[in-house]
Amino acid sequence: MASWSQESVPRALLPVLIHEMNNGTQLLVGFRSLLEIPGGEALFAQKAGELASGSRRLEDLGFALAVVSTSSGADMLMARRERRALQILWDLTLRTLERTGEHTVHVQGTPPELAPSALSGWEVPWAGAALLLVAAEAAEASEWRWRWEGSRLMGRAGRPIMLEEAALAAIQERVPGSQINVDGEALTWDLAAEWIVT
Helix (H) or strand (E) holding 64: helix 48-71
Q: Which has more confidence, 177 or 44?
A: 177
SS3 of 158, please? coil
pTM score of the predicted model? 0.83
Q: Which of 3-7, 18-22, 133-137 has the lowest mean pLDDT?
A: 3-7
Please give the pLDDT value at position 161. Answer: 83
pLDDT at 3: 58
**CA 191 to chain CA mean position, Å:** 16
Q: Determine the pLDDT at residue 25.
A: 85
pLDDT digits (tens, 9 = 90+) for 86-99: 999 999 999 998 88
Q: Which residue has the higher pLDDT, 102 or 171?
A: 171
d(CA 112, CA 93): 16
pLDDT digits (tens, 9 = 90+) for 103-136: 677 899 999 999 999 999 999 999 999 999 999 8
User: Could you tell me the domains of the chain?
Assistant: 8-195 (3.30.565)
